[in-house]
Structure 1
C-alpha cells in the first residue's frame, strides 16, 4: 500500500485477474485522482467547506436527483436502486429487509413491519424515490439498535454505496473523509511532499518530492515515520498518519523518523506547502527518453513539458525516440489528459464524449504544434492503464503519432462527473462515454496495442514476426475499431486476442527500444494502426443513449 500524501494505491494480490486488480486500484486510487477521468475542478487550492449537512434526507434526495439529471442513461425504474440501498444497509443489521407489496414499500425488522411508504407514482421519478429511500433508512435506524450503534454516516454510506453500485462499476459514493483524499489528489492541498508505503505495520518514506518542504527539511527515502506532533504512531494505519501530516498551507507539523542508516530517531519541524502529487518522472536510457506517467492531475501537463524539454537538451539531436510509459496509470483529470495529449499532437481531434445530458456531448481538440513532433514515440500500456491514460494512448495511436506496445488496457472508456453532497461527501456518476479520434469506443474492451508483448518472442525477432503477422494485426485492429456495445462474450473474446496484464515486464521496454531504433519497423507499426482504421468494414454506428433499468 502506498500513499503520496493522499495519492493512495491499493495493490492487488498475486493470482487475481487484471480486471479485479485494476478495480481495487481504481476504487481508491482513481477516486483519489478525480475518478480516473472526471470533470476538472477549477484551478487553485480547493475551498474549505464550513457547512456540513449530514441529514439522510438531504443526501439521498440530492443523490437520486443527480442520477436523474446527469447519469449517462435515463433510469426507467428506481425501485431496484432503493432495494439495493436497503439491502446494503441490512449488512449492518441482518434483520432489516424490504419488500414491494400492494403498491407499497414495506420495511421489516425480522417478521415485524416497521415502516410502509407508498411506491412513488412514477417509477422513473428519481427525487421521489430518493425521498422514499431516505424515509426507509430513517425508519430502519429508529427501529434498529445495530444501525444506531453503527452511526448515521456509516448507514448513509451503506445506502449510497448500494445505490451507486446498481448503476455501473465506475459510479460510486465517497464519504466525507474519503472525499477529502479525493480532492487532495485532484487539486492539491497543504502537505509536506512525500510518498509513503505501509510495510509490516510501519509507514516508510519511499520518495521525497523535489523542492517540497520535506525535501528542504532533510527527509530521506527509507526514513520510518515514528511520531507526529510528539505522538507515537507505530502500528497506526497509514491513512491516519497521512491525514495527520496534511493541514493548512503555512502551518507547521512536527514529524519524527527513525533513520536506519544512522540507527537513530530524528525530529523535523516542517512547514506545510501547497502540494500537487508528482505524476511525471524522466530517465535517460542512452539515446531514448523514458518518461513515466503515473496519473493525470493539475501538475501533469507542465511536468511533462518540462521532462520533454529536459530530454531534448540532455540527449540532443541524436534522440532516437520517446517512451511514454503509462503502465499502471489509472487515469486522472479529464482536462489535464487533453492538455497532456495536446503537447504531443498537432492540431486535430483528441477525444469526443457522448451522453444524455447536453453538457456531456463534447469534442476536445489539440491546437498548435506538438513538442518534439519529429521524434518517434512508443506508448506503453498494460491492463492497469485506464481512463485518462487510455485517452492519450488512443489519440496517439489513431493520429499516427505513437506505436502502442504492451497489453490491452483496462477499458474504462467513460467520463464521470463528481457531485458534491450536502455532507461534504461526493457522488461520482458516469455521464458520458469516450470516443477516440477515429470514432471507436474503448469502454470495456480497452485500447489494443499494435505490438502485443505476449505475442512476440523477443526484440531480436520482432521485425520478422511483425511482418509475418501483419495481416492478422491489421484485421484485429480493424475489428477493434468497429465494435460498438459488445456483449460480455464479445468483450471477453476481443480482450483474449491480447490479454490484459497487470505486470510491467522489462520486455515491454526492450520491444519499445527496438521499434524506436528501427525506422522501417516503426513506420510499419504506425501504418498498421492507421490503415486498420481506413480498412474497417463499417464505421462505428451512432450511439443514442437508451433508457435503462439497472445492471
Structure 2
C-alpha cells in the first residue's frame, strides 16, 4: 500500500512515505550545510525546521519554550560555567559562572522562525563567551542542542546527525556496495558473511576471507567508518580488493562491481517438513525477499510442507508499510493495523487485500521481549485473524509510529506521531503481544506446556488479550504483563515447541481451541518446573557493505 498523501502541518508541507514504524519525509533548503563549521544563519534554519516539525507531527503538543530551554541548557555539558535559566515570564538569562551575562525575550509561542533564530542567537553568544563551545564543530553543537530538545519528548523520538542519518537511510533503502558484513582486525578487514545474490557472492568472496588492501591501500590502516566508505560507492563503479584465504597459499586480487545493496533481513531454511523464515528487520526489500523464499520453500518441499515458522525474535521493527505487506502475504482479508495520533493524517487503517499469497498451511510466529514495533504488528495481525499461533514471551510493547523528517543539515528528526492498534482494537503500546503459548516465567517446562495446551491453557491467554488494561497505571500494567513476562532470550526450547505444533495437527488444533481427533490428555503430566533458559549467543556488530 502506497502512503504518499501530503501531510500538512500548520506552516510546513511534508511529503510522507511510511517508514521505520515511521514515516519518512523530506524538507527543502539543504544547500550550504556541507561544511562542518558552525554558521549562525544555517543554525537558525535548522532549529526553525526542528520546531516546525515537532509542532506539526509530534503526538503531543509541547511548548517551544520548553524545548528551547531544554536544548540550550545542554551547553552546560560543554562548558560547566554556562547555564541557561528562565526569567519568569520575561524570557531566558544566560549565566556565566553564576553571573547573568545576557537576557533574551520570549517570541510568540507559535512563531517557530523566531524560536529558531533565538536558539541560534544563544549559541552565537555562548561561542563568544566560551572557548569550549567556540571550538566545537557545527554538527557537535547541533547534536548537543537537539539532544536536549528530544529529551523532552518520548523515548522513541531522537535526533540523528548528518553521518548517522546517512547510515540510517542506507539501512532502510540501500546503498551502492558489494554485499558483505565485515569486522576490523589487526591484519585487515574480516568478511563475516556474504549476502545472497550480491556482487560479492558473484565475485566469489567468502565468509572468513581477510581483506588486506582496498584499491591498493592497506586495509588495516582504515578504521571501520573509513572501510565502509571505501567499500561503498556509486552503483556500477568498481573496487579492487586484495584477499587472503586460509586454504589459498598466496593472496589474490578480486575486482568487484558495486550494485544497489539493501541489507538482508530474511533468512530461510527447510527443517524437515517446516519452512523456517528468520526475519531480523523490516526494510524496503523484506516483503519481496520473503515472497521469493516462500516460493522456494513450496518448490523444494511442496506437499511435504507441514507449515511455516516465522521467527521474529529480537526483531526491533522497521518500515510500517513492510510490516503491513508481510502480514498481507498470509491473510485473506480483514484489518492488519490502525494508527491514531494528534495529527489528522495520523488516523490510518490498513486492510488486507483479500488474496493470500501462499497456501493456508499451519503457521507459528515466534516472539520474545525484544520483538518490537513492526514485528509486533505482524504477530498481532496474524494472531487476531486466527492465521497463526504466537509462541514465546510477551513482546516489547513498542506500540507507537515514528515519522522520520530530514533536516536542512541532512540529519534526521525521528518523532513519534501515532499509536497503533491491533485488529481486535487494543493498543500494543506498553502491553505488547501476548503469545498463545507462553514460554516465559513459570511455564518453561516443555512437557507441561504440551499438556497445558490440551487442557485449554491457550484459551486463558485469548481471554486476557481482550482484557482492557490501563497502561498508565504501573500496577495494573505489571499485573497484566506478569501473565507472560517479557524475556529477551532466544531459547532453543521455543523452536522445539513451535516445531511440535507444526508437525502435530492434533496439538496445533488444540492450541487454536479447535476440536481434536482425540481429546485425551497426554499421560505425562509434569509439574511446572522452571527449565534453565538457553541464551542466544551474543551477536557481532558489523555493518553491511
Please report the TM-score for the alignment, with normalisation by the length of structure 2: 0.83
Q: For residues 184 and 478 of structure 1, do their structure 2 counterparts lie closer, same or farther at Cα, with a shift above 3 Å needed?
A: same
In the alignment, what sits opposite 2:534?
none
- Match for residue 354 of structure 1 among 340, 358, 382: 340
2:202 counterpart (208, 216, 219): 216
2:437 aligned with 1:451, yes or no? yes
Give the one of 39, 44, 52 matched to 2:23: 39
Hey, what does 2:225 align to over in structure 1? 239
**Shift in CA distance, 267/487, structure 1 to aligned 2, threshold 3 Å:** farther
In structure 2, the residue corresponding to 1:214 is in which secondary structure? helix
Listed as ranges, the gaps of 5+ residues in structure 2 are 1-17, 515-545
SS state at 1:167 partner: coil
The change in CA–CA distance for 1:350 and 1:171 in structure 2 (over 3 A counts) is same
Structure 1 pair 225/350, CA: closer, same or farther in 2 (3 Å)? same
What's 1:153 paired with?
A: 139
Is residue 353–residue 435 contact of structure 1 (8 Å, CA) maintained in 2? yes
**Residue of structure 1 equivalent to 2:363:** 377
For residues 459 and 200 of structure 1, the distance between their equivalents in structure 2, rounded to whole angstroms, comes to 45
CA distance in structure 1 between the aligned counterparts of 2:19 and 2:378, rounded to whole angstroms:
16
> What's the CA shift for 1:213?
0.9
- The verdict on how the C-alpha distance between 1:284 and 1:221 changes in structure 2, with shifts beyond 3 A counting, is same
* Among 384, 396, 401, the residue aligned to 2:387: 401
Kept in 1, the 8 Å contact 2:456–2:510? The answer is: no
| Counterpart selection for 2:64 from 74, 78, 83 | 78
Bigger shift: 309-318 or 456-465? 456-465
Question: Is there any run of 5+ residues in structure 1 with no aligned partner, and where?
Answer: 1-33, 529-551
Partner Cα distance (1:243, 1:106) in 2: 44
- 1:302 Cα deviation after fit: 1.1
Cα pair distance change 1:394/1:434, threshold 3 Å: same
Deviates more, 1:244-253 or 1:174-183: 244-253
Instruction: Identify which of 185, 195, 201 aligns with 2:171.
Output: 185
Displacement of 1:137 in angstroms is 2.2
The CA RMSD measured in Å over matched residues stands at: 2.5
Q: Classify 1:524/1:135 alpha carbon distance in 2 versus 1 (closer, same or farther; 3 Å).
A: farther
In structure 2, relative to structure 1, the CA distance for the partners of 1:246 and 1:114 (3 Å cut) is: farther
Distance change >3 Å, CA 228–CA 147, structure 1 → 2: farther
Which residue in 1 is equivalent to 2:419?
433
Match of 1:317 among 294, 299, 303: 303
CA contact (8 A) 2:469 2:477 kept: no
- 8 Å CA contact 1:205–1:221 kept in 2: the answer is yes
What is the aligned partner in structure 1 of residue 274 from structure 2? 288
Residue 476 in structure 1 maps to residue 457 in structure 2: no
Determine if contact 1:58/1:422 at 8 Å carries over to the other structure. Answer: yes
Partner of 2:220, secondary structure, is: coil
**Residues in 2 aligned to 1:365 and 1:182: alpha-carbon distance in whole angstroms:** 28
TM-score by length of 1: 0.83
Change beyond 3 A, Cα 1:94–1:229: farther
Which deviates further from its counterpart, 144-153 or 59-68? Answer: 144-153
The residue matched to 1:137 in structure 2 has which SS?
Answer: helix
Task: Provide, for residues 281-311 of structure 1, a one-character-per-residue CA deviation record: whole Å limited to 9, x for no partner.
Answer: 1100000000111111111111111111111
- Give the direction of change, closer, same or farther, for the CA distance of 1:420–1:457 in structure 2 (3 Å limit): closer
Shift in alpha-carbon separation, 1:145–1:256, aligned structure 2, 3 A: farther
Residues 243 and 251, structure 2, Cα contact 8 Å, conserved in 1: yes
Indicate conservation of the 8 Å contact 2:329/2:358, yes or no. no
Task: Give the Cα–Cα distance (whole angstroms) in 1 for the partners of residues 231 and 56 of structure 2.
Answer: 38
Report the equivalent of 1:229. Answer: 215
Equivalent in 85, 103, 107 of residue 94 of structure 2: 107
After superposition, the Cα gap between the structure-2 partners of 1:246 and 1:57, relative to the gap in structure 1 and judged at 3 Å, is: same
Equivalence for 2:350: 364
Distance 1:496 1:226 in 2: 52
Which one of the candidate residues 95, 105, 109 is aligned to 1:118?
A: 105
Q: 1 or 2 for the larger relative contact order (CA 8 Å, sep ≥6)?
A: 1
Give the CA deviation at 1:198.
5.2
Say if 2:312 and 2:365, in contact at 8 Å, map to a contact too: yes
